[in-house]
Structure 1
């Protein structure tokens, strides 16, 4: 059934509680990637324009002790958000209490307030992360309606999403959450065909659910990255010192047996003898890796093979880089996939995580139909799981 979206809410004069995902990377108090802030702007601007009183909240990192709070305040995020919106964002350095309540009560229509990192509530008993009933009820009492626009935490049942939703009259998805439901959910449930999935990253074990689900949905699954070596090893090939989960080899064997020809593996690998950007490297056939070599990227024949498979695709989902793209000498496979997908007449979706970071960092973000803001949430959605944060949004 269709979900209620923020556009369906009457918000004028109301206090809108909005869960956003501002869990952004920071170094020395400086935000190094503001993509999640940028992605939240349409929903925030919409309710501000419609004269709502807006209360924003998010988590930032993991907080288990008082010492963990250092560098985890949302104050710098509030400052950047204010710059991007061109208006003041009132910051309250508390997660509850009279100062927060008074500041919310004093909001005028069109004003924005952000309160402190919701994970600060985890110091005493993980109240946020374990969805403490009292905390969810308290936060819900601070507003009139709830908008969840934080896909990055939609796979978790926390006080700041599910807890609030259970204690407030109306719950809607923001525009970012709507996009995630439309593109990732649509790719899994009703894709245009042919549908091709590209799966990479280091571990088969992390993505067994995704692979199993996509075997039922996709027309082809192209394997790249570290997980390739599990599949090559179970077929009897030498993989040298390449990353491999020896305890998952039986699993890889089972997946290949179930695949019915849907899984495609690399033809050639860029190998070296040391995990270093500067160590001498060569392109090796998948059956010509030496015992002292490790694979750090896919080779040109693999890109050519995958390009031919992808050229007619109408839906492509990509999760996981093709190699150690952080090393400039081993980014070619990931760059190559970006270039192939950039030229397709297809719906192209990156399912968050390292592949999203690679596409953004390499300058390809505008070429994709959708880049997910969720890592774990994207994976669970691709597995076909019900996400608590999505399920808690009202049906239309």
Structure 2
């Protein structure tokens, strides 16, 4: 789909409302991880350099339409100022005279941060009147919060109907990466889907089997796939009641010409703890008193071969219990292979989802991937083929 970027609008002397996601972790009023704040810097700086006045709109926590002192955005001001290298002026409301007066008093080169949008009940209800009141404060609407784009809220979707909508730099990068991975990708396309449960990723699997050439299944999900094929997995985590659904997915994949790749060999142990005694057996030979905790070296070699032949990779979820050694071996090895192919210019690799980011960081591979999405739910819904309201509103 076509959307406009900051390069497509004239921002000189304009008030630019920028929806950002700075819902960062805090302890005792201090930001403990500023990653999300750092990611909005290019957008804000570009607006200022183009002569615009950035006014930041954001949510924090779940106040459910009430003013909750501990969920105010005010404590974020020092971290924002440090990241942006600019003065940040705080407004104690995101609509009305309070917000308008703060914006009017702000000088060129300064940034306005307005109070938590979710302090208004109409935010999460996408109330048109609230969106209209927000829109009255500015001339242009920039959405730079892909991670909140799966929510149809007043500040993520409603605003786009009242002001000219534009994608910020972070939103632009995310949409381009996802378009390259799932929109019109270079083929063959391989997807890695891991995690504990098939039941949480039914929509994802159903969408991917009709859109990718190879689907690698890892983690506890792989055990459920093995069970569906009549293979005993001992005491492994598995959703036995999902066997029929899994067989439907496999049938759909076969019709679509998608090759589903399951473990050939597995690493098993009798207890789930760091350094637990373990052994590698074929996927069909899990002892009755053991549990599968990782894919084995033959499986990794097969996955690496598939990566070698691929042009595009989408990754969501680990291949094993990556949090605990030695059950991180398969995830680490596969991640490093993907990273090396990407660095060599042979693979476009896009990854996302909480556990995925953690696993790729642990493997030391994240820095070489083409794009790592920290968007969580929005990334997953995009992979599931769902329309994201915040993105659709930009078109």
Q: If the length of structure 2 is used for normalisation, what is the TM-score?
A: 0.92
Offset of 1:385 from its aligned partner?
A: 1.8
Pick one of 333, 343, 364 that aligns with 1:336. Answer: 333
Offset of 1:286 from its aligned partner?
A: 1.4
The answer (yes or no) to whether the contact 2:150–2:381 under 8 Å persists in 1 is: yes
Q: Distance in 2 between matches of 1:183 and 1:281?
A: 39
Q: Distance in 2 between matches of 1:267 and 1:58?
A: 47
Aligned to 1:232: 226
The answer (yes or no) to whether the contact 1:185–1:382 under 8 Å persists in 2 is: no
The answer (yes or no) to whether the contact 1:185–1:381 under 8 Å persists in 2 is: no
Structure 1 residue runs of 5 or longer lacking an equivalent are none
- Worse-matched range after superposition: 273-282 or 316-325: 273-282
Q: Distance in 1 between matches of 2:311 and 2:252?
A: 24
Deviations 1:343-396 (A, max 9, x none): 1121110033321232235443320111113111111111222211111114xx
Aligned to 2:146: 151
1:311 aligns to 2:308 (yes or no): yes
Offset of 1:17 from its aligned partner?
A: 0.3
The answer (yes or no) to whether the contact 2:294–2:328 under 8 Å persists in 1 is: yes
Q: Secondary structure at the match of 2:385?
A: coil
Q: Distance in 2 between matches of 1:243 and 1:62?
A: 32
Q: Secondary structure at the match of 2:137?
A: coil
Offset of 1:15 from its aligned partner?
A: 0.7
1:333-372 pair list within 5 angstroms: 333-344=330-341, 345-372=346-373
Offset of 1:324 from its aligned partner?
A: 2.5
Offset of 1:328 from its aligned partner?
A: 3.6
Q: Secondary structure at the match of 2:179?
A: helix
Aligned to 1:383: 384
Q: Note closer, same or farther for the CA distance 1:14–1:66 as it changes in structure 2 (3 Å cut).
A: closer
Q: How many residues align?
A: 388
Q: Secondary structure at the match of 2:157?
A: helix
Q: Distance in 2 between matches of 1:293 and 1:32?
A: 39
Q: Note closer, same or farther for the CA distance 1:266–1:34 as it changes in structure 2 (3 Å cut).
A: farther
Pick one of 169, 172, 175 that aligns with 1:178. Answer: 172
Q: Note closer, same or farther for the CA distance 1:373–1:32 as it changes in structure 2 (3 Å cut).
A: same
Q: Secondary structure at the match of 2:54?
A: strand
Deviations 1:99-131 (A, max 9, x none): 32211121222210112222233xxxx422221
- Worse-matched range after superposition: 217-226 or 17-26: 17-26
Q: If the length of structure 1 is used for normalisation, what is the TM-score?
A: 0.91
Pick one of 160, 181, 190 that aligns with 1:165. Answer: 160
Q: Distance in 2 between matches of 1:243 and 1:27?
A: 35
Offset of 1:253 from its aligned partner?
A: 1.2
Offset of 1:237 from its aligned partner?
A: 1.4
Aligned to 2:26: 26
Offset of 1:47 from its aligned partner?
A: 0.3
1:109 aligns to 2:114 (yes or no): no
The answer (yes or no) to whether the contact 1:151–1:373 under 8 Å persists in 2 is: no
The answer (yes or no) to whether the contact 1:196–1:316 under 8 Å persists in 2 is: yes
1:257 aligns to 2:265 (yes or no): no
Q: Note closer, same or farther for the CA distance 1:226–1:60 as it changes in structure 2 (3 Å cut).
A: farther
Q: Note closer, same or farther for the CA distance 1:103–1:157 as it changes in structure 2 (3 Å cut).
A: same
- Worse-matched range after superposition: 279-288 or 369-378: 279-288
Offset of 1:219 from its aligned partner?
A: 1.1
Offset of 1:28 from its aligned partner?
A: 4.3
1:86 aligns to 2:85 (yes or no): yes
- Worse-matched range after superposition: 193-202 or 276-285: 276-285
> What value does the CA root-mean-square deviation take over the aligned residues?
2.1
Offset of 1:177 from its aligned partner?
A: 1.2
Q: Secondary structure at the match of 1:329?
A: coil
Deviations 1:175-232 (A, max 9, x none): 2111222111232121101111111112222222222222122110111112111101
The answer (yes or no) to whether the contact 1:52–1:111 under 8 Å persists in 2 is: no
Q: Note closer, same or farther for the CA distance 1:63–1:271 as it changes in structure 2 (3 Å cut).
A: farther
1:16 aligns to 2:11 (yes or no): no
1:175-254 pair list within 5 angstroms: 175-254=169-248
Structure 2 residue runs of 5 or longer lacking an equivalent are none
Q: Secondary structure at the match of 2:201?
A: helix
The answer (yes or no) to whether the contact 1:229–1:239 under 8 Å persists in 2 is: yes
